[in-house]
Structure 1
Amino acid sequence: MPKDKIKVLLLENIHDNAVGYFEAQGYRSVERLKGALDADELKAKIADVHMVGIRSRTKLTADVLQAANKLMCIGAFCIGTNQIDLTAAKKLGIPVFNAPYSNTRSVAELVLGEVIMLARRIPEKNWSTHNGGWLKTADGAVEVRGKTLGIIGYGHIGTQLSILAEAIGMKVRYYDIVEKLALGNARSCPTMEELLADSDFVSLHVPSTPKTKNMFTATEMAQMKPGAMLLNASRGNVVVIEDLVKALESGHIAGAAIDVFPSEPASTRDMFESPLRNMPNVILTPHIGGSTLEAQANIGTEVAEKLVKYSDNGSTLGAVNFPEVQLPLQETGSRFMHIHNNVPGVLSSINEVLSRRSMNITGQYLRTDGDVGYVVVDVQEQVEAGLGIRHELEQIPGTIRTRFLL
């Protein structure tokens, strides 16, 4: 299919950089909408779309994906992919790409700013001043220099935060389930319990997995140093909010900054509900850790590049639900891509189809995971679309879908 016939749908006001990149690469049929769509609207809109880009509010459920008959790839223009049924997408042969790096600085800066605000008791003073009060006092307000910041999850954001915190004189300790090399003077903790007992501020930067769901409960909060502060800009289901409310009410935790929540409004028109509302020692932000102009610009380019690369040459490097294959440019001949259930005999069947037609294979790439296999075959011949090879490949048992690039 010519590039100008491939339909791209971008939802939730994705940055101009994405549109510009698609158009610069020859993709002319790009539609961008400002908001998210509900399930029925999305099903109707996505039915004849080849690539779709979303942010956090659009829900690509298995039911929605079943209606997307032409969809070949998905771009999550954000870090998280919880809004996408990754398993359903994989079973349909649809790789999902996200932007795990582009907003790390923005999130780290927000968290560091919140650490300083909590240390100076700004939330309470701001609350009081808005209501006509004048809490001009140093009680409980401290500098962050010399204080210990404990980082749980020492990945891209955690390490950025570590560097920024050290630059203003904080001590940094971190805990990660994977052994990570310390940056600067940060020190690792062998256990999370040790980190909690030693930290004046605890910041969470973990992914959403079954192990991290509700990982921070009353038990972990009780292990924190009395008067310490908790910050969560990772995932909404990591912290048990009801337990945090009790820890704040008791004074054991002196303040908190929360950017992500177990339940978040679907749109700006919906009411935000949380037991943390009306607590003056808590900073509440509406999932804006990566919401800066710089981050959104970088994300727009990063994800658009991945979608175009997959469309143009089949590379799946960076896919979160799919076997990753980094492919060279296709300079001559033709390229076949075959996505199939991970069962024995598929590769030999593909080769038989090509062999019967006396085609010379110049390159072959295969990666599998537990469920899906992905084969890419380059042949020397310039194949005509009407030769029926795709039809033969589709008849191989276990085939999910095929693609063919001239």
Structure 2
Amino acid sequence: MARALLLENPHTNADPVLAAAGVEVVRHPGAMDEDELIRALDGVDILGIRSTTHVTERVLAAHPQLLTIGAFCIGTNQIDLRAAARRGVAVFNAPFSNTRSVVELALAEIIALTRRLTVRDKALHDGVWDKSAAGSHEVRGRTVGIVGYGNIGTQLSVVAEALGLRVVFYDVAEKLALGNARRMSSLTELLNVADIVTLHVDGRAGNAGMFGREQFEQMKHGAIFLNLSRGFLVDYAMLREKILDGSLAGAAVDVFPTEPKRTGDPFDSELRGLPNVILTPHVGGSTQEAQENIGLFVSGKLTKYLKSGATDLSVNLPRLSLPPSDAARYRIAFVHRNTPGVLALVNQTFAEYGANIDGQILGTLGEIGYVVTDIGSELPREAVEAVRQMEDTLRLRVMIRPNPED
């Protein structure tokens, strides 16, 4: 029986999906550091994490039996994807499941900051009646600048426009503008015109530190700033300075460079206690609806890979899905270095040992190749071992498929 270790409390609806595929599920409520994770992965085939646990090359090297990793979130920068691919470990995430939740939080914070609701709320909690329109604005007619026009950025664009906001966006990739949104030619151009700047970029290493003194000083005086993306993107000490000197009217931050491992752990940040600043504990996608969707989506991808070798929507292996064949008796999932002639050599090896190929699909992604092959005859052990011993083999897995004639 395969074994799955789920960390950081992904939704429990993942458990029956895994169990139905014959997987034993073990849960641990918090994140783990590198040494803890290495100890915990003994005998584990499937690892499920969220955003805090880091899966490093050292972790992967210590556990060659690990088959696949599910990130029950959008981001995968906490996983060494290249090292995983080189070991034939497929990684899946949930790129769409919590998009709406993040968008709704961003919109709620844009309205709250623009109306200075945080300031009014604090005054009343302190026992002070502070009824004033000073600094309070409607969002209608203001310009929101979206940095990163992916799944979240595009949906935010549509909903923000429906609220009467003007939308501009900047993305390093060529993206189609939705509705009346306007693409800016540079980040500087966006910062110069936006009343609200919100970051929705991915966690690639090149984005680290992308927003610092230079970018804050290019923003309009009195603008507001949101980061619901990645904590390491922003110089928060500089954000603090710009809030305190009045250059920025407010900010909302959901992600931090270092985050506690478990609920209830202490938290500190230079942004604590600042006026008109909303701090949330990485809950952009933490709604019941989003977590339910993520639990089902990621567990479904993990079990499909376990049972059939399908890698559709994998973030680090070629995306393949070979339709089932009633005539196939075995399915072979073969991850290899993307070297010319590998497929021909594999097929020649099967032929030499009398194995009949019933169906096959190949894909490549950078330095990695992936082949799924259905065998409609008996599969000699010698053929499998010959392929396993090939110089370019990274991982080979044989799945026994039922014979419809039995």
TM-score category (smaller protein): over 0.9
Aligned residues: 399
Aligned partners of 2:84 and 2:90 also within 8 Å: yes
Task: Report the CA distance shift for 1:357/1:388 in structure 2 as closer, same or farther (over 3 A).
Answer: closer
The aligned counterpart of 1:202 is 197
Alpha-carbon distance in 2 for matches of 1:40, 1:205: 32
Alpha-carbon distance in 1 for matches of 2:347, 2:148: 45
The aligned counterpart of 2:28 is 33
Aligned partners of 1:365 and 1:376 also within 8 Å: yes
The aligned counterpart of 1:377 is 373
Q: Do residues 7 (structure 1) and 24 (structure 2) align?
A: no
The aligned counterpart of 1:404 is 398
Tell me the TM-score normalised to structure 1 length. 0.93
The aligned counterpart of 2:238 is 243
Of 257, 268, 273 in structure 1, the residue corresponding to residue 268 of structure 2 is 273
Of 360, 365, 368 in structure 1, the residue corresponding to residue 361 of structure 2 is 365
How far did residue 84 of structure 1 move?
A: 1.4
Q: Do residues 351 (structure 1) and 318 (structure 2) align?
A: no
Residue 388 of structure 1 aligns to a residue in which SS?
Answer: helix
Q: Do residues 308 (structure 1) and 308 (structure 2) align?
A: no
How far did residue 27 of structure 1 move?
A: 2.1
Residue 79 of structure 2 aligns to a residue in which SS?
Answer: coil
The aligned counterpart of 1:317 is 312
Alpha-carbon distance in 2 for matches of 1:205, 1:9: 30
How far did residue 267 of structure 1 move?
A: 2.1
Residue 52 of structure 1 aligns to a residue in which SS?
Answer: strand
The aligned counterpart of 2:99 is 104
Residue 158 of structure 1 aligns to a residue in which SS?
Answer: helix
Q: Do residues 393 (structure 1) and 387 (structure 2) align?
A: yes
- 1:279-302: CA deviation from partner (whole Å, max 9, x where unpaired): 122111111100000000000111
- 1:74-115: CA deviation from partner (whole Å, max 9, x where unpaired): 000001112212222122110110001000000000000000
- 1:331-368: CA deviation from partner (whole Å, max 9, x where unpaired): 33222122122334422321222011222222222222
Q: For 1:244, give the aligned amino acid.
A: L
Alpha-carbon distance in 1 for matches of 2:32, 2:212: 34
Alpha-carbon distance in 2 for matches of 1:351, 1:23: 35
Tell me the TM-score normalised to structure 2 length. 0.93
Of 223, 248, 254 in structure 1, the residue corresponding to residue 249 of structure 2 is 254
Q: For 1:57, give the aligned amino acid.
A: T
Structure 1 segments unaligned to the other structure (5+ residues): none
How far did residue 382 of structure 1 move?
A: 4.1
Residue 381 of structure 1 aligns to a residue in which SS?
Answer: coil
Alpha-carbon distance in 1 for matches of 2:13, 2:327: 30
Residue 290 of structure 2 aligns to a residue in which SS?
Answer: helix
Residue 16 of structure 1 aligns to a residue in which SS?
Answer: coil
The aligned counterpart of 2:119 is 124
How far did residue 269 of structure 1 move?
A: 4.0
How far did residue 318 of structure 1 move?
A: 1.1
Alpha-carbon distance in 2 for matches of 1:162, 1:370: 32
Of 114, 136, 141 in structure 2, the residue corresponding to residue 141 of structure 1 is 136
How far did residue 245 of structure 1 move?
A: 1.5
Structure 2 segments unaligned to the other structure (5+ residues): 401-406
Q: Do residues 336 (structure 1) and 302 (structure 2) align?
A: no
**Greater mean alpha carbon deviation, residues 125-134 or residues 306-315:** 125-134
Q: CA RMSD in A?
A: 1.7
The aligned counterpart of 2:13 is 17
Q: How does 1:111-190 map to 2 (within 5 A)?
A: 111-190=106-185
How far did residue 371 of structure 1 move?
A: 2.4
Aligned partners of 1:14 and 1:32 also within 8 Å: no
How far did residue 181 of structure 1 move?
A: 1.9
Alpha-carbon distance in 1 for matches of 2:245, 2:275: 14
How far did residue 134 of structure 1 move?
A: 2.7
**Greater mean alpha carbon deviation, residues 198-207 or residues 162-171:** 162-171
Q: For 2:217, give the aligned amino acid.
A: A
Q: For 2:370, give the aligned amino acid.
A: Y
Alpha-carbon distance in 2 for matches of 1:325, 1:111: 35
Aligned partners of 1:98 and 1:303 also within 8 Å: yes
Residue 286 of structure 2 aligns to a residue in which SS?
Answer: coil
Alpha-carbon distance in 2 for matches of 1:116, 1:389: 64
- 1:156-199: CA deviation from partner (whole Å, max 9, x where unpaired): 11111112212222111112222222222222222222221211
Aligned partners of 1:349 and 1:396 also within 8 Å: no
**Greater mean alpha carbon deviation, residues 180-189 or residues 215-224:** 180-189
How far did residue 154 of structure 1 move?
A: 1.2
Residue 326 of structure 1 aligns to a residue in which SS?
Answer: coil
Alpha-carbon distance in 1 for matches of 2:396, 2:118: 56
**Greater mean alpha carbon deviation, residues 97-106 or residues 165-174:** 165-174
**Greater mean alpha carbon deviation, residues 265-274 or residues 228-237:** 265-274
Aligned partners of 1:127 and 1:280 also within 8 Å: no
Alpha-carbon distance in 2 for matches of 1:193, 1:57: 32
The aligned counterpart of 2:404 is none
Structure 1 residue ranges, 4+ long, deviating more than 4 angstroms after superposition: none
Residue 168 of structure 2 aligns to a residue in which SS?
Answer: strand
How far did residue 400 of structure 1 move?
A: 1.6
How far did residue 230 of structure 1 move?
A: 0.5
The aligned counterpart of 1:232 is 227
Task: Report the CA distance shift for 1:95/1:162 in structure 2 as closer, same or farther (over 3 A).
Answer: same
Q: For 2:126, give the aligned amino acid.
A: N
